Structure 1
């Protein structure tokens, strides 16, 4: 059975940290492929500086184009807002009954996992891979949750989309934090700029 990792995010914008993590997980876990699920709206995040969903989806497609085991998904674009991971997982499972889906989350999300919509249902029905995020020790998560997830010792790349958006807004040039085509796309479409 094919095992598909699901990496959810605003990808506002997608950066080399996302790509390096996905690449590492493909090589060092049982995943056969990874789907980047572009979320139109994260229930825990402000929407103010969120680029249009189509722009973010296009940037993800550009960034992952060289790896055939990566795909971009806009499944949440037609779902009610805000986007709840549990609903998306349910939809994916229904549409692909022969596929095994594994949720990929950072340790920052693991620590707040009990607050997620239908958290227990997700834990019962899906395998969860947890990668480290600086300042969020996975060991601090609730013990019963820790026993149901797999911690992955992926390399720490402390790059954030917030940093990249701020750099564009301040007219700083940081072209190596995103792929070259994404950098050009942001400039061409004047995203995150004054």
Structure 2
């Protein structure tokens, strides 16, 4: 059975923290691939997308281009609307019955698993993989396989703020993503 990691998020924009987390989980669990899955409207965040779905997909493609173990999963963006993990994973499991999905989540998401839509059904579909993030407990009653990764206190919000104010984002973003952001004038650049 193929072992596929899924890393969901807004990726607004994707940054080195996302790549590092995916790479660490890929190697720690011996996965066949990791798919980066941008969501359309996450139920747990304000729908504040400074970049369109198409731009976020393109940034993810550019961020992962050099890494053959990484792919883009566009299911949620193509579907549109609110992205509930249970509905997405049920659809992906039905589409690919020969795949064991490993759903990668950060400590902030681990702490809130009890609030997720259809969580009791979701844990039967996938293996949750948790990575700690600064300032989170990363505790839950649900089964989560923890993977130790170097922690970096970096967020897309910080990067957007830096870009908007002319601050440096060198070493925080893949160069191809920064180039795209500047070419398209995203985030106030």
Task: Show the counterpart of 2:110.
Answer: 110
User: Could you give the per-residue CA deviations for residues 32-51 of structure 1, whole angstroms, max 9, x where no partner exists?
Assistant: 21000011111111123431
- Structure 2 residue aligned with 1:186, among 156, 167, 181? 181
CA distance in 1, matches of 2:183, 2:36: 23
Q: Which runs of 5+ in 1 are unaligned?
A: none
How many residue pairs end up in the alignment? 189
Task: Show the counterpart of 1:79.
Answer: 79
User: Could you give the per-residue CA deviations for residues 126-155 of structure 1, whole angstroms, max 9, x where no partner exists?
Assistant: 11100001111224x3xx31xx21111111
Q: Is the Cα contact below 8 Å between 1:107 and 1:132 reproduced in 2? A: yes
Q: Which runs of 5+ in 2 are unaligned?
A: none
1:164 Cα offset (Å): 0.3
Q: Could you list the runs of 4 or more consecutive aligned residues of structure 1 that deviate by over 4 angstroms after TM superposition?
A: none
**Aligned-residue RMSD, C-alpha:** 1.2
Residues 1:49 and 1:98: Cα distance change in structure 2 (over 3 Å) = closer
Q: TM-score, normalised by structure 2?
A: 0.95
Task: Show the counterpart of 2:148.
Answer: 153
Task: Show the counterpart of 1:37.
Answer: 37
Q: TM-score, normalised by structure 1?
A: 0.93
1:68 equivalent in alignment to 2:68: yes
